[in-house]
């Protein structure tokens, strides 16, 4: 298994710059004593940073405009259209951050649950933009643990016609095992994350992690 340091140097993995501000935000959402309102607020701040970083890795082309002073400005414009796809339920918490950065962006949804008998992820629901195969896709899910759900979701996108290289998987916290597992099957996607943690415990929980993101964000659990 790759170490967090080795993972962070992988060409397909983009980790946010470890600034003091980012570390303070991560500290707040990792704290089990953080109230739900604060967890939501500071998670949303990190999500916005992640979306902005992910957009920076999309292709751009030269684009000239004329400024109000009558001068030509040699700038850039996005080369292609994008969409978001959230892995339900926790991924839905990241949708607003994408909407804040991309006006009128189309967002699809994928629901994947683990089969209790086989322990394998199964697709239960998928609603995607009809023209998704022609778009760059930001796949949204806050946590990447084993990578099972992420791989299933990516497989759905690829079978729908999305080019593997046009998929950016955006998440807050990931485990090296999950990154290695995903990139083994889909080496052309890009993973954009805020933190690469030490690894998984015997129950496949990310350590140090931050608990169940969906429960804490949507308030469906009282204790963590």
Q: Is 155 noted as a catalytic residue in this protein?
A: no
DSSP 70-124: S-EEEEEEESS-EEEEEEETGGGGGHHHHHHHSTT-EEEEEEEEE-TTT--EEEE
Omega cis (within 30) before 109: no
Q: Is 114 noted as a catalytic residue in this protein?
A: yes
Query: What is the spatial distance between Cα 88 and Cα 84, in angstroms, rounded to a whole number?
Result: 12
Which tokens is 97 given? 């951050």
Q: Is 201 noted as a catalytic residue in this protein?
A: no
CB 105 within 8 A of CB 83: yes
72, burial (CB in 10 Å: exposed 0-12, middle 13-18, buried 19+): exposed
The active-site residue out of 100, 155, 185, 215 is 215
Q: Is 215 noted as a catalytic residue in this protein?
A: yes
The active-site residue out of 114, 155, 160, 185 is 114
Catalytic positions are 114, 118, 212, 215
């Amino acid at each position: 298994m790759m170490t967090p340091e080795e993972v962070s140097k992988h060409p397909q993995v983009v980790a946010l710059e470890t600034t003091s501000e980012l570390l303070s935000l991560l500290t707040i959402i990792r704290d089990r004593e953080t109230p739900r309102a604060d967890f939501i607020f500071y998670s949303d701040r990190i999500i916005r940073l992640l979306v902005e970083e992910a957009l920076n890795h999309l292709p751009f082309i030269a684009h000239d405009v004329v400024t109000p002073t009558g001068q030509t400005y040699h700038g850039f414009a996005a080369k292609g259209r994008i969409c978001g796809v959230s892995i339900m339920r926790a991924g839905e918490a990241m949708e607003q951050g994408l909407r804040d950065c991309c006006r009128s962006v189309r967002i699809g949804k994928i629901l994947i649950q683990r089969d209790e008998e086989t322990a394998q992820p199964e697709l239960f629901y998928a609603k995607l933009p009809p023209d998704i195969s022609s778009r760059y896709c930001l796949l949204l899910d806050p946590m990447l643990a084993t990578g099972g759900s992420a791989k299933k979701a990516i497989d759905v996108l690829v079978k729908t016609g999305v080019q593997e290289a046009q998929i950016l998987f955006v998440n807050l916290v990931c485990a090296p095992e999950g990154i290695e597992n995903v990139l083994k099957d889909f080496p052309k996607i890009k993973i954009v994350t805020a933190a690469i943690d030490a690894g998984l415990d015997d129950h496949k929980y990310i350590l140090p992690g931050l608990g169940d993101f969906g429960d804490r964000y949507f308030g469906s659990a009282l204790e963590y």
